[in-house]
Amino acid sequence: MNRQNIQYFTAFDGSRCIAEGGLVEVIIKVKEKIDIGEALSVLIFDGISSDLVEVDFRGTKEDVLKSLGNSTALENNQETIYRGPGRPKLGVIPREVTLLPRHWEWLNSQPGGASVALRKLVEEARRMNSDRDQLRTAQEAVYRFMSAMAGDLPGFEEAARALFAVTSEKFNEIVTTWPDDIRKHVQQLSGSIFNKKPSVVEGHFVE
């Protein structure tokens, strides 16, 4: 299943993965297991960022789903944008920027003035650092899940070092010893990190 363009969630009860899928689907499965005593301590993770989703499972299934009315995850799935006639708004936000006089002199000399020049510089920097930023975001997601689920497991600190050093052999050697469902999820999350070329290791691109 392609999870890049959809919101995907995974629920763990201890070291067991007990549900995967959309948020409502996962919550219903977890609630059913809690009600029959098959789940005690459940954590629900965003499938991409590994952020924890807080859910109040008290009451009936309907009560639980109603409590999600203001959930960020649901809002993201249902988000709609109204666009009226005319030119679209660019969403420009004014902020104070402090620069040296020579910086302002250079910016003001650019076509379109300082604001246009700054926006162009930011976009160029974003493009240049895209791979590095994606790598860091992916590493943080893996580490977030590992900290919650594997922080007390053997080799956690060494695995974390291997993760940020992009050392796949050492990383997989360690996580292979972890409980199956945790291992599978960690390896699934980290796949894009170790398979991506070029990689960024300690601030440098390496082939």
How many other CB atoms are there within 10 angstroms of residue 200's CB atom?
A: 19
For position 71, what pLDDT does the model report? 54
For position 80, what pLDDT does the model report? 34
Mean pLDDT computed over 129-135: 82
- Adjacent-strand bridge partners of 19: 11
pLDDT tens figures, 67-119? 886 554 544 444 333 344 444 455 667 788 888 888 888 888 888 888 888 88
For position 60, what pLDDT does the model report? 94
For position 100, what pLDDT does the model report? 85
Q: What is the DSSP letter of 5?
A: T
Instruction: State in Å, rounded, how far the first CA of the chain is from the last one.
Output: 29
Q: Is the pTM of this model over 0.75?
A: no
Top pLDDT among 65 and 79 is at: 65
How many other CB atoms are there within 10 angstroms of residue 94's CB atom?
A: 6
For position 91, what pLDDT does the model report? 67
Whether the predicted pLDDT of 4 surpasses 50: no
For position 131, what pLDDT does the model report? 78
Mean per-residue pLDDT over the chain, rounded: 83
Scanning the chain, the segments in alpha helix (DSSP H) are: 23-35, 61-66, 72-78, 101-108, 113-128, 130-150, 156-164, 168-175, 180-195
Whether the predicted pLDDT of 150 surpasses 80: yes
For position 122, what pLDDT does the model report? 85
